[in-house]
Amino acid sequence: MPGFRLWPGALDAQAQAQLTADVFARLEAAPLYRPMTPGGRPLSVRMSNFGPLGWVSDPRGYRYQAIHPETGQGWPDIPAVLLDLWAATVGGPTPDACLVNLYRDGARMGLHQDRDEADLSAPVLSVSLGDTAVFRIGPAEGGPTTTLRLESGDLCALTGPARLARHGIDRVLEGSSRLIPGGGRLNLTLRRAGVSPD
Ligand code: MD6
Ligand code: FE
């Protein structure tokens, strides 16, 4: 699919372990929680955010906001290594939001489009850590989808013509990695959510 980019094995074992430690340290200040869908059901994925803006969902809808909905505090900063990965892959103006997703106990994510960002021309970059996921992707307009596996250390991005592709996580192969303390899969997605300051 044009605009879908994949960098398999971009992070080696040591980089994965360091990034995982960085993420869990920041989650002390911004705990994972289960957002509610606008329809009032809890998501199976647990979430938090890093950066000036964080993606949230609740009965009022989907949006980006500067504070954690449960603690009322600002989100922790984005780990520097993630900003470096952005610069080395998709490049362009620096991201202002990093959504953290933790999949455990059969959590999955339905097909969706990432379209809550102010500028839909900026890419979204995803970093996978821990258990392998079955990622599904298809055209923005609907129609046939394909699946591929995202393994620990892989990066992928939705850019250009794939920016509004429909995508989701069918399932996570539980126990396929020992990286995450307590098991499961972490996914970090870097975005430009807000309005560019120029
Ligand atoms: C996940 N990823 O891998 C979910 N979004 O857990 C996403 O929803 C995603 O992988 C935008 C761009 C890349 C992604
Ligand atoms: Fe997404």
Pick the atom of ligand 1 nearest to 112's CA. 8
Pick the atom of ligand 1 nearest to 158's CA. 12
Within-domain flag for 97:
yes
Q: Tell me: the pLDDT tens digits for 84-113?
A: 999 999 999 999 999 999 999 999 999 999
Within-domain flag for 198:
no
Q: Is 83 helix (H, G, I), strand (E, B) or coil?
A: helix
Element holding 48 (H helix, E strand): strand 46-50
194 has pLDDT over 90: yes
125 has pLDDT over 90: yes
And the tokens for 134? 């079955």
Within-domain flag for 135:
yes
Contact 117, 99 (CB under 8 A): no
Amino acid at 94: T
63 has pLDDT over 80: yes
Ligand 1, from 103, 112, 124: best to mutate by most atoms within 8 Å of Cβ? Answer: 124
Cβ(159) to ligand 1 under 6 A? no
Query: How remote is the C-alpha of 77 from its chain's centroid?
Result: 15
- Please tell me the distance from the alpha carbon of residue 95 to that of residue 189, in angstroms, as a whole number: 10
Cβ(102) to ligand 1 under 6 A? no
Comparing CA positions, the residue from 168, 189, 169, 172 lying closest to residue 180 is 172
Instruction: Give the mean pLDDT of 56-83.
Output: 98
Residues 6+ apart with CB under 8 A from 143: none
Instruction: Give the mean pLDDT of 45-74.
Output: 98
Taking CA atoms only, the protein residue closest to ligand 1 atom 1 is 187
Q: Tell me: the pLDDT tens digits for 2-52?
A: 999 999 999 999 999 999 999 999 999 999 999 999 999 999 999 999 999
- Residues 178, 45, 172, CA angle at the centre, nearest 5°? 45
Instruction: Give the mean pLDDT of 119-126.
Output: 97
Cβ(126) to ligand 1 under 6 A? yes
Q: What is the CATH number of the domain that holds 78?
A: 2.60.120.590
Within-domain flag for 18:
yes
Taking CA atoms only, the protein residue closest to ligand 1 atom 8 is 168
And the tokens for 46? 């647990």
Taking CA atoms only, the protein residue closest to ligand 1 atom 13 is 126
The sign of the torsion formed by the CA atoms of 163, 169, 174, 180 equals positive
Q: How confident is the model at residue 197 (pLDDT cuts 50, 70, 90)?
A: low
Amino acid at 39: G
Predicted pLDDT at 198: 52
- Please tell me the distance from the alpha carbon of residue 162 to that of residue 143, in angstroms, as a whole number: 14
Within-domain flag for 113:
yes
Q: What range does the domain containing 45 cover?
A: 4-33+41-191
Within-domain flag for 107:
yes
Within-domain flag for 133:
yes
User: Residue 126 C-alpha to ligand 1 middle, in angstroms?
Assistant: 6
Count up the domains in the chain and report the number.
1
Q: Tell me: the pLDDT tens digits for 156-174?
A: 999 999 999 999 999 999 9
Within-domain flag for 196:
no
pTM value surpassing 0.85: yes
196 has pLDDT over 90: no
Amino acid at 109: M
Cβ(152) to ligand 1 under 6 A? no
